[in-house]
C-alpha cells in the first residue's frame, strides 16, 4: 500500500514509521489514522468509530511483542502525544513539546490520553495536563516520566563545531537524532526476542489487574521463557562469557 501521510522504512530489522504531514504540523486526521492502522496490520472504520479506530491502531502498537520507540521531534499534542504514549518507549529532542489540549476545544482526548497518561506520570500530573490543556517541554516531560530520554543532536562542521543558522540558533540534525534512537533500539534487539515480547505482555496485562494476579501472570510467562531455546542459549552465553545468539525459539 502506498501511504500519503506517513513514511514507512525498514532498515536492519528496524521499521521507522514517521508522521508526514508538515503543513498540518503532523496532526492526525482520519486518513493518517487509517494508514497507521494498516501499517500495524489493523483495519480502521469511519463515522462514529473514528475514535475507536484510533484506539485500535494505538492498542496494536502498545501490544506489539516487538519494542516500539517513539522518536519525537517537534510538537506531540493531542493525538500525537497519545500516539507517543502508545509506544513502549519515548525519546525526544530538547525542543519537543507535549500536551493534551482537547479541553480547550470543549473535547477530551479520544485515543487513550485519559488512560495512558495517568499510568505513565501518575494521577495528579496527568490531571494537571489534561485539565489545564497546556504544553510542557521535553525536559519537564522527562522529569515527570512521560519520556525516557531527551537527546540533543545538532549539526556540526568538519571541525566538530556546532553549526548555527542565520539567526544564531543551533541547527538540528534529524538524521543524527534518528541514528541515536536506532542505536538504542539495537541495544534492546540484542536481547532475547521472545523474552522482550513476554516482558511487554507482562507489563501491559499486569497493569490491568491486581498485584497477585499480575504476579501469577509473571510466573506463567517466566515458565514459558524457561522452556525456550533462547533461555538455554542465554545461560550458556553467560557462563561462556560470550555474546548470546538468539533465534526466537
- Cell 540534525 locates to 173
Q: How far apart are CA 9 and CA 54, in angstroms?
A: 22
Q: Which of 9, 62, 102, 162 is catalytic?
A: 102
Q: How far apart are CA 28 and CA 120, in angstroms?
A: 22
Q: Which of 85, 78, 27, 81 is nearest to 59 (CA)?
A: 85
Cβ atoms of 99 and 129 closer than 8 Å? yes
Q: Is 102 a catalytic residue?
A: yes
User: Judging by beta carbons within 10 Å of its beta carbon (0-12, 13-18, 19+), is residue 23 exposed, middle or buried?
Assistant: exposed
Provide the 10 A C-beta neighbour count for residue 232.
12
Q: Tell me whether strands 89-93 and 97-99 are parallel, antiparallel or unpaired.
A: unpaired
Q: How far apart are CA 81 and CA 90, in angstroms?
A: 10
Q: Is 82 a catalytic residue?
A: yes
Q: Which of 31, 82, 158, 229 is catalytic?
A: 82
Mapped onto helix, strand or coil, the DSSP state of residue 152 is: coil
| The three cell numbers locating residue 189 | 534487539
Provide the 10 A C-beta neighbour count for residue 21.
15
Please identify every residue annotated as catalytic: 82, 102
Amino acid at each position: 500500500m502506498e501511504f500519503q501521510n506517513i513514511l514507512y522504512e525498514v532498515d536492519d530489522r528496524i521499521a521507522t514509521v514517521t508522521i508526514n504531514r508538515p503543513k498540518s504540523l503532523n496532526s492526525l486526521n482520519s486518513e493518517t489514522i487509517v494508514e497507521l492502522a494498516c501499517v500495524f496490520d489493523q483495519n480502521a472504520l469511519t463515522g462514529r468509530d473514528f475514535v475507536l479506530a484510533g484506539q485500535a491502531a494505538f492498542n496494536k502498537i502498545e501490544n506489539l511483542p516487538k519494542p516500539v520507540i517513539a522518536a519525537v521531534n517537534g510538537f506531540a499534542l493531542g493525538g500525537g502525544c497519545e500516539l507517543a504514549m502508545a509506544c513502549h518507549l519515548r525519546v525526544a529532542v530538547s525542543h519537543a513539546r507535549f500536551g493534551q489540549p482537547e479541553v480547550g476545544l470543549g473535547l477530551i482526548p479520544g485515543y487513550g490520553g485519559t488512560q495512558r497518561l495517568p499510568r505513565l506520570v501518575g494521577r495528579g500530573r496527568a490531571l494537571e495536563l489534561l485539565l489545564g490543556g497546556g504544553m510542557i517541554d521535553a525536559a519537564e516531560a522527562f522529569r515527570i516520566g512521560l519520556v525516557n530520554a531527551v537527546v540533543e543532536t545538532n549539526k556540526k562542521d568538519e571541525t566538530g563545531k556546532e553549526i548555527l543558522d542565520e539567526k544564531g540558533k543551533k541547527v538540528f540534525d534529524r538524521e543524527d537524532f534518528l541514528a541515536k534512537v536506532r542505536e538504542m533500539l539495537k541495544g534492546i534487539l540484542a536481547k532475547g526476542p521472545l523474552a522482550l515480547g513476554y516482558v511487554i505482555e507482562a507489563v501491559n496485562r499486569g497493569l490491568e489487574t491486581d498485584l497477585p494476579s499480575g504476579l501469577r501472570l509473571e510466573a506463567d510467562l517466566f515458565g514459558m521463557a524457561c522452556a525456550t531455546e533462547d533461555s538455554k542459549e542465554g545461560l550458556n552465553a553467560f557462563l561462556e562469557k560470550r555474546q548470546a545468539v538468539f533465534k526466537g525459539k
